[in-house]
Every structure is written in structure tokens, then in C-alpha cells.
A = this chain, B = another copy of it.
Amino acid sequence: MIKVGIIGATGYAGQEIVRILQGHKNAEIVWYGSRSYIDKRYSAVFGNLFQIVDAQCLDDNMEVLAEAADVIFTATPQGLCGSLVNEEILEKVKIIDLSADFRIKDVSVYEEWYGIRHKSPQFLEEAVYGLCEINREQVRGARLVANPGCYTTCSILSFYPLVKEGLITPDSIIIDAKSGTSGAGRGAKVNNLFCEVNENMKAYGVLTHRHTPEIEEQLGYAAGTDVKVIFTPHLVPMNRGILVTGYGALTRPVTYEAVREIYDRYYGEERFIRLLDPDMCPETRWVEGSNYVDINFKIDERTGRIIVMGALDNIVKGAAGQAVQNMNLMFGLPETEGLEMVPMFP
């Protein structure tokens, strides 16, 4: 039985790890870390877990936790994991960091976009970018996994085969993304109040959103060259879900079937990627509560562009589900263990 500690267990992603692990055969949670709710019963914060989880919230002491756990999930704001981790800890415990601290290899890029100093740049090289479908082998051997961002997971998986195969010009990528509000976290902010979000649609962080360099770096590896994307996130009045509508200029005329064949080659065997039938558009409702990413595309012969669409649940495949998927890989378990939730509709 893998002993799991969670730092940041009372955020939306932390709670989702808890929910998912209730159905996991090989893991048990030994530490519910939450600075804001120390000594409070976990199920008093999340009533859905009443009579399911019988534990108190604990402090965020990574030193102590490293002794008690086999793996630590840090579902915390940027900077925290980087400030706590050290070699001694990493020798005792594996870490899956859901923040951005170890996602970007170039520390200056991280510091520029996030506006904070990185406290542990020495682990950047070691850290593995935990996008399982792409970096599966590296994840298996990792001590420290940087769990990808929600927008990023959806954007990269949607575009990866096209970029890797050189089918689109790297500087032509535009990603218009829409996210449910749980992506904004559980902090008490006026902007995220019900009456501010409900009955509204807006773009935010236009040209400045922090997932931009993460997408560019990973797609850059695929392209083998620098990639510059325009990434525009939007806030949608719904709880869960990310929808990416992406645009790119084709490098040559292609048919739907030819492109489909490429996607099949990359993702045909992937348990959590569903390539939809022609003319079906991904919808967030069809993936809600599950670890699936639904992907499809359309080719516009009139303009020589391709429209790529992806949908996932931002808290599952975009955060907690992928984190558990990474844990499964790191501990040699079946990759799908605990993750076969059927999407819930309506």
C-alpha cells in the first residue's frame, strides 16, 4: 500500500486527489495537509467526504511528512514546493508537484512569468514534466514530477502530433481556451464570487497567462524549434472543464483521413485519449469527472488552416487525475488504476 501525503489538501485539486484515491486499490492517504484548516476535520471542509474520510487536517511539514509517506502531492500555490524540497527529502519520498515550480526548465523564464525567485533551481534538470502520454518512460524513473497545468495538458495533447509531424507552421498557433471556474482555485476573491462569474464570459490574462511559456516549451521540444503561441484563456460559468479551440496554418494540403491516421498513430492505444468520430466536436460535459481528453479537428481548405479541439476535466486530467496517473507510473502500477471513472452526465 502506497502511503500518500497531500500538501494543499483543501484546494479543489487536493480534494480531487482525495476523491480519486478512495477508489485506488494500492494507495492510502496518511496526511491531509492544509495550513488554513489545521486540526479541522477534513469532512467538515468537504461534506461530500463525510463518513468516507475520517481525518483531521495537518500542517504542511514536509520534513515530517517525508518520513510518513512514500509520495507527496503538492497542490499548492507557486513557490511553495520549490521552497520546501531538498535532497534529503527527495531521497526519502517521491514528489508530484501540481504547481508550476518545476515545469519550466529555464529558470529565468519561470521567474519572469511568475514574478518570484525560484528557490530550488538545482532540481529543474532532474524534474520530469509529467505529461504521461508523451513522457511516460521518464516519469517511471522520476523522483520529482512536475505535473502539467490544466490548460497546458489540453493544449499540448491537442496539438502534439501536428507539431511533431511538422504539419503546421510553428509560429501560426493560436489557442483560444475556455475554462470552468474551479481552475481559479478556492481562494476567497471577489472576482470568483458566484454573482461575478455567473452569466458572464470574459477573456483574462490576454498575452500574459503563465501557461503560455509552458505550452511553448513543450511544443518546442516536439517541433525541434522555437514555438511562439498566442494563448487566450477565458472564464466560463461552469464548475469543471476546459475546452481548447486551436488554430494553425498547415504546411501542406492534407486530408482529414491523413491527419486522422497520424493522431491514431500517436494516441490510438492511449486509454485516456479519445479521438472522436469525424464531425463530432469535443464537449466538456462528456469528460466531466473523468480522466479523458477528447480530441478532434477540422480542416479548412478555404484558408489552409486546421482547427484542433480538445476537452478535458481541468481538475482530473488537468490536475489530480494526471497526478495519480503519474504516481501509478512512478510506482510501477497499472497506469489506469483508480482512474477509470466514467464521465458523469448531466
Contacts and interface: CB of A to CB of B under 8 A. Distances in A.
Interface string A173-198: 01010101110001111101111111
Interface in A252-309: 274, 276, 280-290, 294, 298, 300, 302-303, 305, 307, 309
A196 B46 CA distance: 10
B342 A201 contact: no
**Integer count of this chain's copies in the complex:** 4
A50 to B, nearest CB: 6
Contacts of A225: none
Given A194-B237, A201-B243, A202-B282, 4 more contacts: A15-B345, A19-B342, A192-B194, A202-B283
A88 interface: no
A204 B47 contact: no
Interface in A188-236: 188-190, 192-204, 206-207, 228, 230, 232, 234, 236
- Most B CB contacts (10 A, CB to CB) among A49, A199, A232, A305 go to A199
Given A198-B198, A198-B346, A287 B48 contact: yes
B200 A307 contact: no
A201 B178 contact: yes
Q: For this complex, into which size category does the number of interface residues on chain A fall?
A: 35 or more
A190 B37 CA distance: 13
A267 to B, nearest CB: 12
A187 B190 CA distance: 7
Contact of A280 (B47, B238, B240, B290): B47
A245 interface: yes
Given A192-B194, A344-B289, A201 B236 contact: yes
